[in-house]
Amino acid sequence: GEDVEQSLFLSVREGDSSVINCTYTDSSSTYLYWYKQEPGAGLQLLTYIFSNMDMKQDQRLTVLLNKKDKHLSLRIADTQTGDSAIYFCAESGSFDAGNMLTFGGGTRLMVKP
């Protein structure tokens, strides 16, 4: 079955860039997503990328997709303490799969002042 892997933890200093990495196994993935989960809150969709794209930029967020290596990354520029959260990578297959998401285990980002 599909598998999505992420490193567990990342610590950065405020103002630095953060890069969170994700690998996936399903070659038929159509969309890849980054979700943010803050303590006690639900999941918030940050951004997503279609599988025929290499890069997507949205303000401080840059998503890079290497489809050949099945590697996805999320770069947060000028990281702030408010960015401290757990970040989940997720993928969904074809539309026939109903956009069912397969999630990674999450990367806990800690931003030090």
Partner 1 sequence: GAGVSQSPSNKVTEKGKDVELRCDPISGHTALYWYRQRLGQGLEFLIYFQGNSAPDKSGLPSDRFSAERTGESVSTLTIQRTQQEDSAVYLCASSLARGTEENTEAFFGQGTRLTVV
Pick one of 28, 105, 110, 112: the residue that binds partner 1 (CB under 8 A): 105
**From the list 104, 109, 111, 113, which residue makes contact with partner 1 (rule: CB under 8 A)?**
104
The site map against partner 1 for 3-42 (x = CB under 8 A) is -x--------------------------x---x-----xx
**CB closer to partner 1 out of 14 and 43:** 43
Q: How far is the CB of 70 from partner 1 (least distance, A)?
A: 17
Those residues with Cβ within 8 angstroms of residue 86's Cβ, 6 or more apart along the chain or in another chain: 36, 37, 38, 106, 107, 108, 109
Answer yes or no whether residue 82 interacts with partner 1 by CB under 8 A. no
Tell which one of 10, 12, 43, 64 touches partner 1 (CB under 8 A).
43
- Of 44-63, binders to partner 1 (CB under 8 A) are 44-45, 48, 50
Contact by Cβ (8 Å): 30, 19 = no
54 CA to centre of own chain: 14
From CA 31, how far away is CA 51, in angstroms rounded? 6
- What b/e readout covers 29-52, taking b as 16+ CB neighbours within 10 angstroms? bbbbbbbbeeeeeeeeebbbbeee
The two beta strands, 107-112 and 9-13, are: parallel
Residues that bind partner 1 (CB under 8 A): 4, 31, 35, 41-45, 48, 50, 88, 90, 92, 95-96, 98-106
